[in-house]
A and B are shown apart, each in its own frame.
Chain A
Amino acid sequence: MDQNILESLSGLDRADLPRILSALPFGVAVLDAERRTLFLNRALESLTGFSTADVAGVFCRHVLRGSFCLHGCPCLSQGRDCAPGACSESREGTLINRHRRKIPVRLTSLPILDRAGNFLCTLDVLEDLSALKDMETRLSISASPGQMVGRCAVMEHLLRILPAVAQSDSPVLLTGESGTGKDLLAEALHRFSPRARESFVRVNATPMPEALLDAELFGQSEGPGGVPRPGKFQLAQNGTLYLSEIADMPLAQQGRLLRLLDEKAVLPAGGDRPMHLNVRVVAATGRDPEEMVKAGVLRDDLFHRLNAVRLHLPPLRERGEDVGFLLAHYLKIFAAKFRKQVLGFSDEALSLLTSYDYPGNVRELRNMVEYAVMVCAGETVQPEHLPAHLRFPLAAGSSVATQASQAQGKPSGALKPARKKA
C-alpha cells in the first residue's frame, strides 16, 4: 500500500498496515466509500490475479468480479453505489479471476469507522472455498447413502442408524419388497463401513447347476487350465459380499455360507485346504424370511445368524409423505440430467401420481418421473406426460369389475385412494 493510499485511510495511521494485512491467510481488499479499490493484500492478489498497482481506484466489482457484486450486494440492490457501512454481512458466491478461473468464495464486508463513527473504508474479506467445496463434493459422493432419501419416520430412523450398523461387522439381513431400495441400502452399508475401500461384490444366486454355483461362489482349487479360480467370496476378500436374494440360494450352499460365517474360512471346490476369508455378508430378500424358513426354503440356523441385524425397507405405499418428496426429488434430478426446465407437476398430474399405489415401489416412481420429464416440453408435467397405465388404467388390462367401478366414478384397483392427501 503506497503512501497516497495510506493517506486516504486517514485515521488508520499505521504504516505497517499493508504488511499486517498481507500476512493474513485470506484475501483482504480495502475499499473507499464508493467501493473503489485502495489495496489488495497478497492473498487476494494471488486469488484475483490483479496487483494493487493494476487496480487502485477501480470499482471493486471489476476487480473481484463476484457473483455477489451484481446479484446480491445490498448496496446495489438499494439502487445506490454502496453507502458507507451498508454492506456488513457474509455471503457465498463465486469470482472469476484474471486467469478466467471461477473460484467459490465467501465474502465478508466490514465497514471501518473512526472513533467519531465516521466511515473510513471497507474491508472486504474473501475466503477461498475451493478446497472446502472439493471436499464437500468428495464427501457427498463417497458418503451419501447411495441416493437413498426419505422423510417419513421409518426412513429417517433407518438412515439415522445406518452409519452405526455399517460400522459394525455383523451380517445384515435386508428385507423389503422389490423396488424399495435393498440394493442401494447394501451399497450404503458398504460405503459407510471400514471396508469402504475394499470390494463390494454382488451375488445373484440365479438358478444354475449346484456344482457350477458352488464354484461361482466359493471358487475352484483347479479351474480351467489348472489355475485356481477365485469365487465371489474370495473376490470380496476384506470387503462386503451382497447376496441379493438369499431365497434363490440352494440349501447346500446355504450350509456352506453358514460355515463361512462361523469359521471365517471356505473350502474351494476340489480343494483340501480351507482358505481364510475376511468378508462381511449382507443378504437380502423380497419375501418374508420367517415364511421362507417355515416353507423350508431358508435354513433356520442361517436365518438366525443373518437376522442378528435386520433392516426392513417399507413399501412406498406405507411411506406417506415420501411420495411427494420423492416426486420432487426425482423431478429435479431428471430435469438436470436431461437439461430441461421442468419445474413441477400440475395439480392433475400430482393427483394421479399421489393416488397411485406403486406396486413397483420407488423404482416405479423413479421410472415414471424419468419418463414424464423426458416427454414434457414445458415447465410443468401434465397428465399427458405420465405413462398411459396411470392415466388410463383400463388400457392396462383391468377387469370388467374395474371398468364398472370406473363408470361409477370410483378409482380402479391400481388407483387406490387410501393414501390420498387430505
Chain B
Amino acid sequence: MGKKILVTLYRDEVAPRFDLCSEVLLVTVDATGHEVRRQDLVLANSSADDLCDLILDREVAAVITGGIEEEHYHYLRWKRVEVIDGVAGLSGEALALYLRGELEPGAILFQRLSHE
C-alpha cells in the first residue's frame, strides 16, 4: 500500500516555517517506496490551520517541514501524521533521505562551515 508525503516548499528548499509556507510538494509512493505521482500545489494563502486541513483531506502520511508550532505539530501527530520538522535543506534531498529512512527531525542538510 502506497502513501503520500508532503514537503512544505520555499523555492527549492524545505520551507523554514510551516505556517508561512505557500507551496507544497505532494508525492505519492507505492509500497516499495517508488514515486508514482508528484504534485506541486500552490496554496491560496499561508495558514497553518488550512495546511493541516489539506494534509488531512489528502490523507497525507508524512510531512517534512521546517519550524512548526507545537500546537500544529501535536495536532498532526494526534491525527497519526508523521511529522519530520526542523529540516533545513533542499526539498529533493530531504525527500530522498526520507524515502531511504534516513531523515531525522532537526536535520540540517546544508553544508556547514568547518569548526576545526
Contacts and interface: CB of A to CB of B under 8 A. Distances in A.
Interface of A: 2, 4-5, 36, 38, 53-59, 61-63, 65, 67, 69-71, 95-102
Interface stretch (B33-41, B95-103, B107-115): B107-115
A62 B70 contact: no
Most B CB within 10 A of own CB, among A38, A65, A95: A65
B88 interface: yes
B10 A98 contact: no
A47 to B, nearest CB: 13
B12 interface: no
B94 to A, nearest CB: 12
Interface string B60-100: 00000011111001000000000001101000000000000
A67 B67 contact: no
Interface of B: 10, 13, 15-20, 46, 66-70, 73, 85-86, 88, 106, 108, 110-116
Contacts of A4: 113-116
B71 to A, nearest CB: 8
B10 A70 contact: yes
Contact of A62 (B46, B68, B108, B114): B108
Contact of A65 (B46, B67, B108): B67
15 contacts: A4-B114, A36-B113, A38-B113, A54-B108, A55-B88, A58-B108, A59-B110, A62-B13, A65-B66, A69-B17, A96-B18, A96-B68, A100-B70, A100-B85, A102-B69
Contacts of B114: 4
Nearest to A99: B70
Contacts of A65: 16-17, 66-67
A61 B17 CA distance: 9
- Majority secondary structure, A binding face: mixed
Nearest to A101: B70
A102 B114 CA distance: 30
Given A69-B17, A96-B18, 9 more contacts: A55-B108, A56-B113, A57-B113, A61-B16, A62-B108, A65-B67, A97-B67, A98-B67, A100-B69
Contacts of B15: 70
Contacts of B66: 62, 65
B59 to A, nearest CB: 24
Nearest to B70: A100
The 8 closest A-B pairs by CB, nearest first: A96-B67, A62-B88, A57-B113, A65-B67, A100-B70, A56-B113, A57-B112, A65-B16
Contacts of A69: 16-17
Contacts of B18: 96
Contact of B86 (A36, A38, A59, A98): A98
B16 A53 contact: no
A10 to B, nearest CB: 15
A301 to B, nearest CB: 60
Contacts of A101: 69-70
A67 B66 CA distance: 13
A186 B55 CA distance: 49
A55 B115 CA distance: 11
A71 B20 contact: yes
A67 B17 contact: yes
A96 B69 contact: yes
A100 B106 CA distance: 11
B98 to A, nearest CB: 17
A29 to B, nearest CB: 14
A95 B17 CA distance: 9
A3 B13 CA distance: 30
B47 to A, nearest CB: 11
Contacts of B19: 96
A53 B115 contact: yes
B111 A57 contact: yes
A98 B66 CA distance: 10
A67 to B, nearest CB: 6
Contact of B17 (A54, A96, A99): A96
Contacts of B70: 99-101
